[in-house]
Structure 1
Amino acid sequence: MSAEQNNQRFQLENVFNVKGRVALVTGGGSGIGLMATQALAVNGATVYITGRTGEKLDRVTELYGKNIPGQIIPLTSDVTSKDSIAQLVKEIESKEKALHILINNAGISSNPGNTDAEDPKQLQQELFQDSISTFAEWESVYRTNVTQAFFTTAAFLPLLQKGTDLDHGWSSTVINITSISGIVKTSQHHFAYNASKAAAIHLSTMLAHEIASSGLKIRVNNIAPGVFPSEMTAKSSDENQKSALPKEKYEQKVPANRPGKDEDMAGAVLFAAANQYLNGQTVVVDGGYVLAAGTV
């Protein structure tokens, strides 16, 4: 190989190449899921997006699926149901020979609770007696943030392995979107959500280990974002299905002095998808929040 040919391997379109890959992004209609969808589709991937609301998915295709090297294809699905996941596998199997990238992004938050009380009876009231803190809420949060990632990954293993088998030099990848809320020691006033994200991070590690131990060439990593604009953090989205957060609100809370941008997440997604030597890792993209806040 000549020096000129060797140099070409370092070009961005080769280092972060996802052209021609087939991807699935759960919860791809807004927020981080939409950021991941755009990052892949704009760079030549065929991206299937899922969610419970077909109108939202169709809107993404209409807005962001035109005049790009890749494609965005909507598929309505509920990934908290095994039957729905199984149907999703059948639909993609009927259209594609393989799946190269699975991004488990779907997630929900939990009700906030006051953890600042210093009197034991008052803290008991806030954490136990309060009607918004229930077993049902914890189960719902875990079902969406943890359990669905396990079952969706398991269901797509054959298609993911085909992606590795059919493309020399490529190993298919699962990227779980977790959160720095699963790393920091504070509850951030929502125990259920933070506990579920910690579980999702450990689930990613276990899946990476067990899949590799089974001899499959499928990488599993997770991206742990800090504060990014989404319907979860901003409580709404605009007509372009994009959310916004005020920069000044985070100037004293994050070393970066701002919330995350779409491009910040796009870079992380392309890195995790394309880097063939990355496996079993947590990629923290948080503007330095964990550095400032401390960890467990």
Structure 2
Amino acid sequence: MFRIVSRHSGRVHSRFQSTKLATIVPRATMSGMWKADNRDLTADALFGVSHLKAVVTGGGTGIGLMITQALQSNGAKVYITGRRQDELEKAAKLYGTGPGSIIPLKGDVSQKDEAIRLAKEIESREPDGIHLLVNNAGVARDPDTKFLIFAAEKGQPDWTDAKAISEHFLQTKEESWAETMKVNVTGIYWMSMAFLPLLQKGRDVTPGYTSQIVNITSISGAMKGSSSGQPVYAVSKAAATHLSRMLATLFTDTKVRINVIAPGIFPSEMTAGSSGEDNKSKLDMKASNPAGRFGHDSDMAATILFLAGKGGLFYNGQILTPDGGKTLRSIA
């Protein structure tokens, strides 16, 4: 086992018990020979999350459920929120069997008072705070202009005809812009501010670990072009990514980190249109990325476990893009 020796006092601490500048040294064996000990470099040490208390918004379906499953199946205690209580309870029942737990709490993150209420509710259950907030809840509200970029019959305008382009995109309703921005951007702001004190508490009682907010945005926020006829969705995700950078800077001295996962296409109610009895969605179309497939549950699980575990502690203000190489073939 490694010993951590403080350069300030010379005192020996156990793993992750000191936030002071430390040096890791190997321990002598019974024979007096120094022997390297790599246990701090194992997958369990780097990506274990059994100590975590987490909140995942939109955690009942899609990417939110993938993240919830990854955390719960590795021992974390996960609160999931959403506007549909029945879907939350079903997810908890289907996927909440050991070693961690899933607790459903209904709430609308786009409402300031609801974000504050959720924070107070969880504080009453977790007075020592939480370690991870995943702002995943999101909507796409461009039904009148949406099309599949690789299927001309799905309603694309003539891109050489200014009048056709104008008429197509003016079909968007004003409330589509308002609701999309309210959920995808403002919701992140309310939840981050409401839960910041709880995240700092969680850090304070877990020496050597810094709490974190992970915001789920999209590669749409970094890509130019028509975004499959969903400009408001793409704009909202670009705004969410930039908001994440701003908040990461703003929260620096609190030692609460913020990182972003900007995924490509994963099966969800947003991309597939619905989910089944297992709260899972299936995509019936061909992937256009170099990987030749859409994202799997395991791809999202690996991403969140990396960020949430101790192996991700050195990451702050960063954007991870699990997209199968999609941005390599798109205008970004």
TM interval, shorter chain, is: over 0.9
Structure 1 pair 263–123 and aligned structure 2 pair: CA distance change class (3 A)? same
| Structure 2: tracts of 5 or more residues without a match | 1-25, 28-33, 146-155
The 5 A counterparts of 1:244-259 are: 244-246=282-284, 249-250=286-287, 253-259=288-294
**Aligned 8 A contact 1:187 1:194 in 2:** no
Structure 1 pair 41–202 and aligned structure 2 pair: CA distance change class (3 A)? same
Specify the alignment match of 1:277 in structure 2: 314
- Cα RMSD of the aligned pairs, angstroms, is 1.3
Structure 1 pair 118–210 and aligned structure 2 pair: CA distance change class (3 A)? same
The 5 A counterparts of 1:71-220 are: 71-96=101-126, 97-112=128-143, 113=145, 114=156, 116-128=158-170, 130=171, 133-188=172-227, 189-212=229-252, 215-220=253-258
Bigger helix fraction: 1
Q: CA deviation at 1:17?
A: 1.6
Q: CA deviation at 1:124?
A: 1.6
**Normalising to structure 1: TM-score of the pair?**
0.94
2:330 to 280, 283, 293: 293
Deviation string 1:131-171 (CA, Å, 9 cap, x unpaired) is: xx122211110001010001100011100001111101100
CA distance in 2 between counterparts of 1:273 and 1:254 reads 27
SS at match of 1:9: helix
Q: CA deviation at 1:220?
A: 0.2
% same residue: 47
Specify the alignment match of 1:31 in structure 2: 62
Q: How many residues align?
A: 286
Specify the alignment match of 1:241 in structure 2: 279
Greater Cα offset, 3-12 or 80-89: 3-12
CA distance in 1 between counterparts of 2:224 and 2:308 reads 29
Moved over 4 A (4+): none
**Aligned 8 A contact 1:35 1:266 in 2:** yes
| Structure 1: tracts of 5 or more residues without a match | none
CA distance in 1 between counterparts of 2:178 and 2:193 reads 20
Deviation string 1:173-217 (CA, Å, 9 cap, x unpaired) is: 0000000000111232110000000001101111101111xx110
Deviation string 1:24-76 (CA, Å, 9 cap, x unpaired) is: 0000010000000011111111000001111111101111111x211100001
CA distance in 2 between counterparts of 1:272 and 1:4 reads 30
**Aligned 8 A contact 1:23 1:46 in 2:** yes
Q: CA deviation at 1:116?
A: 4.2
